Amino acid sequence: MTAPDTGALARHLVDLIQVQGPIPVSVYMAEALGHPKYGYYMTREPFGREGDFITAPEVSQMFGELVGVWCVDIWQRMGSPARFHLIELGPGRGTLMVDLVRTLGAMPGAVDAAEIHFVETSPRLKDQQRATLERGGVGNAHWHERLADVPEGPAIVIANEFFDALPIRQYVHTREGWCERLVDLNPEDSSFQFVVAARPTLGADILAPNILGAPEGSVAETCPAGQALIADIADRINENDGAALIIDYGTAQSAAGDSLQAVRGHQYIPVLGAPGAADITAHVDFAALARSAGAEGVATHGPVEQGAFLKSLGIELRATALQQQATSDQASDLSTALDRLTTPNQMGQLFKVLALTRNDQLPPAGFDA
């Protein structure tokens, strides 16, 4: 595969701004990540050491296995239906699903009941996912562009590091009020720069009450796409039965702050520096997601920290069991992976876990009653 022309997306964005004027951060982010020809996820290798970042399923098989334990618990709470949709949003290279399905195979009937559905927009990632599933001996998979395209029916929805890549809108608290942050062209060299709209925007009325009174100069973020998606997931649970598990990095409570960031080659770079050639994400506001889901009538559980969630599901016991069958080097790698997934100074605290279930269900595994 030839290297993508990283300047092509920049030229596209320049043309867009010259025609439309300054664009919202959400438009910049959506184009940079998802443009059908030049977007980051369409042209780059995001995952692994050779990519730009490493996700939890790539750190260790234990992560996907423990998510599989959670799915088995949910399936049993659903009455062990003979057929259910196992849906993963943004499945990366498919690693999590292979490890998850291996765990389902230990529970009689579970793996045969699961019909796998991937929601993925990138053709090149779809090819990687097919190859990963084939190597892992996993079949019965279907691909969709949108969650709405997945057939109705009982479902378990998994979203690991998915919501952080959904486009956000940013607002700056000025003397005039909350004004939207936009992306414009620097008149001197046509590079991209942030500017602030001259007038307050009506969109700011969706900010959480504790953010509205933040000091002047504060930045607030909203994710309309994430809130709409979580509402759709909640509707699916209400109408068809099932549950959802959202794992991502972010905050448990809504708060002011600029969390927009770009990563390339495992290093942070300026957000506007390399559109289409770097991953752009923002911290997930779990409180906002829970409010949107709760408004649809489902029960929300958490968020809890990823470290606590994995430990409550038995990751330490799983690590010990794997180490007993491992070489000394493998055992050391397992200890390193366990620390990375669970300790507060790595992924254990920054990453949060939120679950959605029917309103008449008790808290699922990994969440305190």
pLDDT of residue 2: 40
pLDDT of residue 3: 43
Local confidence band at 48 (pLDDT 50, 70, 90 cut-offs): low
Instruction: Look at residue 42 and tell me whether its pLDDT is greater than 90.
Output: no
The residue that leads in pLDDT, 48 or 115, is: 115
pLDDT of residue 206: 79
Instruction: Look at residue 327 and tell me whether its pLDDT is greater than 50.
Output: yes
Model confidence over 345-365: pLDDT tens digits?
999 999 999 999 999 988 999
What's the token pair of residue 355? 């679950």
Local confidence band at 49 (pLDDT 50, 70, 90 cut-offs): low
Instruction: Look at residue 369 and tell me whether its pLDDT is greater than 80.
Output: no
pLDDT of residue 54: 80
| Burial of 267 from C-beta contacts in 10 A (0-12 / 13-18 / 19+) | exposed
The residue that leads in pLDDT, 163 or 44, is: 163
Four-residue CA torsion sign, 44, 46, 47, 48: positive
3-state class percentages of the chain: helix first, strand second, coil last, to nearest 5: 40, 25, 35
Local confidence band at 53 (pLDDT 50, 70, 90 cut-offs): low
pLDDT of residue 50: 60
Instruction: Look at residue 329 and tell me whether its pLDDT is greater than 60.
Output: yes
| Alpha-carbon span 335 to 339, nearest angstrom | 6
Instruction: Look at residue 4 and tell me whether its pLDDT is greater than 50.
Output: no
- pTM for this model (two decimals): 0.93
- Which range of 80-84, 136-140, 264-268 scores highest in mean pLDDT? It is 80-84
Four-residue CA torsion sign, 72, 75, 77, 82: negative
Fold of 43-167+222-305: Rossmann fold (3.40.50)
Local confidence band at 17 (pLDDT 50, 70, 90 cut-offs): very high
pLDDT of residue 51: 54
Model confidence over 213-247: pLDDT tens digits?
899 999 999 999 999 999 999 999 999 999 999 99
Q: What is the dihedral of CA 226, 94, 283, 60, to 10 degrees?
A: 150
Which residue in this structure is represented by tokens 């307050």? 200
| Burial of 182 from C-beta contacts in 10 A (0-12 / 13-18 / 19+) | buried
Give the pLDDT mean for 21-31: 96
Local confidence band at 133 (pLDDT 50, 70, 90 cut-offs): very high
Instruction: Look at residue 47 and tell me whether its pLDDT is greater than 80.
Output: no
Give the pLDDT mean for 110-115: 95
| Alpha-carbon span 237 to 229, nearest angstrom | 13
The overall average pLDDT reported for the chain is: 92
| Alpha-carbon span 55 to 73, nearest angstrom | 24
157 HSE (CA, 13 A, CB side): 33
Instruction: Look at residue 15 and tell me whether its pLDDT is greater than 60.
Output: yes
Local confidence band at 207 (pLDDT 50, 70, 90 cut-offs): confident
Give the pLDDT mean for 324-329: 92
Of the candidates 63, 9, 107, 36, the one whose C-alpha atom is nearest the C-alpha of residue 245 is 63
| Alpha-carbon span 124 to 35, nearest angstrom | 13
What's the token pair of residue 1? 């595969």
